[in-house]
Structure 1
Amino acid sequence: MTQSADPVLNVDRSIDASPQSSRWYASSILSRVLVAGFIVVLFAALYGRIMGYGLRRDELMFVPPAELLGYWSLYSDFFYNHVPNSAWFYRGVYLIFGGEGLLASARFGQFCAWLLLASGIGWATWRISGSGLLAMFFVVALVVNETLQTQAGMAASNNLLPMPFVAWGLGLFIVETLRDRPRVLWLLVSGLCLSIAAGLKVSAAVVIPPIAIATFLLPWHMPFSERLRSVVVPLLIGGLIGAIPLFWYLGADPSGFLAHVLKFHTGPHIAFWQANAASEPSLAMGLGGKIQLAYATWFGGAALIGLMVLFYLAVLGGTRSRQDRSGLGQILLVLVVLGATALFSFVPTPGFSQYYIQPLVAVPLLAALIYRLVPQEKRAQVAPLCVAGFALLFLLGAPRLAPGLLNLAKPDNFTSARLAKGGASLREVVAESERPDGPVATLMPLYPLEAHLPVYAELSTGPFAYRIAPYTDPDLAQHYVMANEDQLLALFDSNPPSAFLLGYDSALEAPLLRYAETNGYAAVQKEGLDNRYGQGVIYSKRAGAVE
């Protein structure tokens, strides 16, 4: 057994490199092959689960901009109630992989976000701790996390997207400030990642203030003037570059930008759910419900196993001498980030389970920093715990991930493939309609957009703008491309639909259905239009039909 120390991070790395034993080399190669094979199978199963995961309503907001941004402008031409980076992320993926379809490219983008998250957590945990086993444990713990295996991590939305950039931004900052001399380029990248994360989801911005303060304090040993030059300035420059999209939209139309990003969530969004809470049993309007959602996300299943490893490391690390405790400043930083993200999770109303996933990024980094405090002679005690943790994670993750492997054998059953089939069916009906060039009227715009059919701007990102119309102040409504019931029916009179696609929300769709039946649109049953919200029915007025 030879002992080597990382001269940069002062991390002990132990390798058994006895040249007398060829058996060690064989077992080492075999173990690496097995680990690599396990990772490949794990992420293949994850990909299969993502592609087979049922359509979610949030995707009606986040996926359409991938198509709409080709001819319309964000906010001014269609409703979008989030910061802009998520829209442009899916637009970019669509430009590269659009040949596979609108939803298929978005779901693939979600999988890419997973790869970026896993690599960020794995690299940072290994680089900080020097333990590949610990790094792999926390990567697997994230992948099989119950909340991330549901809508939060599977559907193409902005819930998961900021987490990879937070992981890389915070991880790079910790790694560089543990060095004797931080590298300017990587701190610039750190700031860039953190700003990109904030541009993907507002809640990610809560990570920035603790790190901004830490730039003036870490590394401890550097003179303050050098710290300003080598840490503060590059992080600031990276942050400003990453914030350019936010500055662009805020500068172009401050009131419109804030109306979409801020005032929607603090006004009509809350009013709508207060009036319709019974329609969504998983939401939490009060503190008690939010605490239950947070508890299930942070202290259940895979998350609890991760915390068990973290606490065990803390016990072992607490035995190290006070004179030999490096990284305490970084530990304090991660604890503050953990607390800030946890507290901010309770701010949005109503609360959904996906709002509580951001703190999960900080746990692996905290564990890696605490692992540095564990005396070398006690680190062998960590391995059996991680191995036992792997076994429990396998039992937790197998029921959800194993079907993902089966999905790979039947790509025609992917949710995106079924959506494309429905879009093709809709296109066939529209082609035979009285107005084949007219927009499709629907609260489920992914089907017509998948088929490259026009839609009404007021309904182009699903029901989100339409359903809040009764709860929106007129002064605020003027910033939205939206229509209430009367305005929508008047819009149909002035620009008649080529077809209606209904059957997914009977209450919201009732005025559209009445209009279709009153104006001679006949029901047409087609395959491929069913999803978790219902069985779609096309209402079309065939060319030459007499009312």
Structure 2
Amino acid sequence: MSVTELFKSGSTASTTQKTVDDPIARRMAQIAVVIGFAVLLAAVYGRLMGYGLRRDEMMFVPPARLLGELSLYQDVFYNHVPYSAWYFRGFDLIFGAGGLLFSARMGIFAAWLLLVGVTSWLTLRLSNSVRLSLFSAVAILTCHPLMNEPGMAASNNLLQLPFALAGLGFFLIELKEQRLRVSRLFASGVCLSLAAGMKVSAIAFIPPVAIAAFLLPAALPFAVRVRRVALPILLGGLVGALPLFILLLSDPQLFLAHIVKFHSGPHVAYWEVNRLTEPGLALGLGAKAQLAYGTWLNGVPLIVGFVVLCFGWMAVTESTSFDDTEQSAFGPVLVVLGTLLTTAMMSFLPTPGFSQYYIAPLVVLPILAALMFARVPWSKHDYTRPVLAAASLLCVLTALPWLTPELRTTLGVGASTPQRMNAGGNALAATMTEHGIVNGKVATFLPIYPLEAGLDVYPELATGQFAYRIAPHTEPELAQHYVMAGPEQITSVFDTEPPAALLLGYEPKLEKPLLDYAIVHGYREVSVNGLNNRYGEGRVFLQPGEISE
């Protein structure tokens, strides 16, 4: 089925119905669709590049530049699985000439394109409907929970989704088509492991596939299912997870200290003490439920859920039997429903809860819509057209306040956030050079600024404030696995190697020991333009003259 068929009037309602095929109108409709998607992509790109800096980006972006000299975990604190750091490293090697943050945000835009492409391809294969495939792409590009930090900041929140969805989709296609190709099932396992290597929470996509691999197709003997379904997926999963196993086996305590113990220990302790600094922080189950409600039952997710219910109702009301064919078609539906359940449950596990933890179930909804559509009888397909058209229009209207203003950034009206960060970093470097400071490290909780200009930073602060702020809440046995200096230890680090400059002004409470050090040791405050962001105005303190001479 081609895109052209989207605009042809069907004859399924009546065999005597005549179809008027106007090539000019069809061509105009095709052009309108292409232009519409180009505008949507341009708006998403503009919002991505115009989105303000986020603290989480200090964890994910600096390693892309530092991994050329330092090792993850051993030399740099990193509280996530490593694939995201390697992903951003690759984009920095390709786009790094445009700036560090620019290369990372380009990595996120590539993830957007991959997510839209995977979703469209899967829904097309599962439903054989170009209309539904186009609607699914629109739903992803206009999904409001992705319009904020989960989909706009350079982090691992979005990176997991296209790989997890591809892993689920390859398996569903083989179940639906009942071909059980080894290459597709192997690819399913690889993609699921890649997703888990991007973000631990993507593990939620694995249990439904793993369980179903032993149970489906039900018509096959158990031994055959193990050999032809479960084994290829398992082998693919092992290949995709091989780098994780290597890191784990090389130093289990170091790896687990960053990936598991950080999130279950000092991270939770820090937020329990500082809960008042983050309004609406979701620490308890009730607060997490409210956060999930606002993410799942609002805007585009609600619209896609309505489409699923419509197609489900059409399928159920026309179903008169439940033969072997129907049973085999129902298997993929159970797998997707299981995935919705596991991803939703996984969303509630991290403490505290943040909005990015609740987005995984949303990308599964279009897949469920495709499976429901595939069960709608041909006699009812004409009724699906107005549903998809209205739902697509509602998705776009819902997203207009989010996306329309961002076209200005795409068109170059004003500087983007990566441009401002790069300019600020270069201004800092130029000021240091003007004052005769050509060597030394910059101490700051926003290391992207100095790294944009090729300046050195302290390994203890290389990923921002995350290791620094948990130091008082970290047991000594655990702390020995982190490259970390807290408020009590940072001055000792500076005494060993005095900062060439300190860039402060963004976290007054956390920065107080750094500011006190600068004042006590006679650092000179100078004015540097371009260092302002959503966290405040940058204050630069340079070495005393005698130190730099």
Q: Name the TM-score, length of structure 1 as normaliser.
A: 0.94
Structure 1 residues 92-111: aligned runs within 5 Å: 92-111=90-109
Percent of aligned pairs with the same residue?
A: 50
Flag as ranges the 4+ runs of structure 1 deviating above 6 A.
Answer: 12-16
RMSD of aligned C-alpha atoms?
2.3
Residue of structure 2 aligned with 1:131, choices 122, 129, 132: 129
Is residue 434–residue 542 contact of structure 1 (8 Å, CA) maintained in 2?
no
1:300 aligns with 2:302: no
Structure 1 residues 280-429: aligned runs within 5 Å: 280-319=278-317, 321-323=321-323, 324=326, 326-410=328-412, 413-429=415-431
Is residue 204–residue 342 contact of structure 2 (8 Å, CA) maintained in 1?
yes
Is residue 436–residue 548 contact of structure 2 (8 Å, CA) maintained in 1?
no
Per-residue deviation, 1:27 = 3.2
Per-residue deviation, 1:327 = 1.7
1:494 aligns with 2:492: no
Per-residue deviation, 1:14 = 7.7
**Match for 1:529: what amino acid?**
L
Distance 1:217 1:29 in 2: 46
Is residue 58–residue 446 contact of structure 2 (8 Å, CA) maintained in 1?
yes
**Match for 2:274: what amino acid?**
N
Change (3 A) 1:13 1:540: farther
Distance 1:223 1:39 in 2: 46
Residue of structure 2 aligned with 1:268, choices 266, 269, 276: 266
Query: Which structure 1 residue ranges, 5 or more long, are not aligned?
Result: 5-11
Is residue 441–residue 497 contact of structure 1 (8 Å, CA) maintained in 2?
yes
1:36 aligns with 2:34: yes
Is residue 12–residue 378 contact of structure 2 (8 Å, CA) maintained in 1?
no
Per-residue deviation, 1:230 = 2.6
> What's the CA shift string for 1:440-486, capped at 9, x where partnerless?
01111010111111100000000000000111111110000001223
Is residue 121–residue 364 contact of structure 1 (8 Å, CA) maintained in 2?
yes
Is residue 521–residue 540 contact of structure 1 (8 Å, CA) maintained in 2?
yes
Per-residue deviation, 1:30 = 2.7
> What's the CA shift string for 1:403-437, capped at 9, x where partnerless?
22111122751100000000001111222456531
Distance 2:30 2:13 in 1: 14
Distance 1:546 1:72 in 2: 26
Is residue 118–residue 165 contact of structure 2 (8 Å, CA) maintained in 1?
yes
Distance 1:92 1:82 in 2: 17
Distance 1:525 1:169 in 2: 51
Indicate the residue corresponding to 1:472 in structure 2. 474
Indicate the residue corresponding to 1:84 in structure 2. 82
Indicate the residue corresponding to 2:521 in structure 1. 519
Distance 2:515 2:187 in 1: 52
Structure 1 residues 42-81: aligned runs within 5 Å: 42-81=40-79
Q: Counterpart of 1:485 in 2: which secondary structure?
A: coil
Q: Counterpart of 2:506 in 1: which secondary structure?
A: coil
**Match for 2:201: what amino acid?**
S
**Match for 2:348: what amino acid?**
F
> What is the number of residues matched between the two proteins?
537
Indicate the residue corresponding to 2:5 in structure 1. none
Change (3 A) 1:14 1:27: farther
Q: Counterpart of 1:440 in 2: which secondary structure?
A: strand
Per-residue deviation, 1:353 = 0.8
Change (3 A) 1:318 1:484: same
Is residue 432–residue 542 contact of structure 1 (8 Å, CA) maintained in 2?
no
Per-residue deviation, 1:208 = 0.8
Residue of structure 2 aligned with 1:506, choices 483, 498, 508: 508
Q: Name the TM-score, length of structure 2 as normaliser.
A: 0.94
Is residue 498–residue 541 contact of structure 1 (8 Å, CA) maintained in 2?
yes
Distance 1:71 1:266 in 2: 30
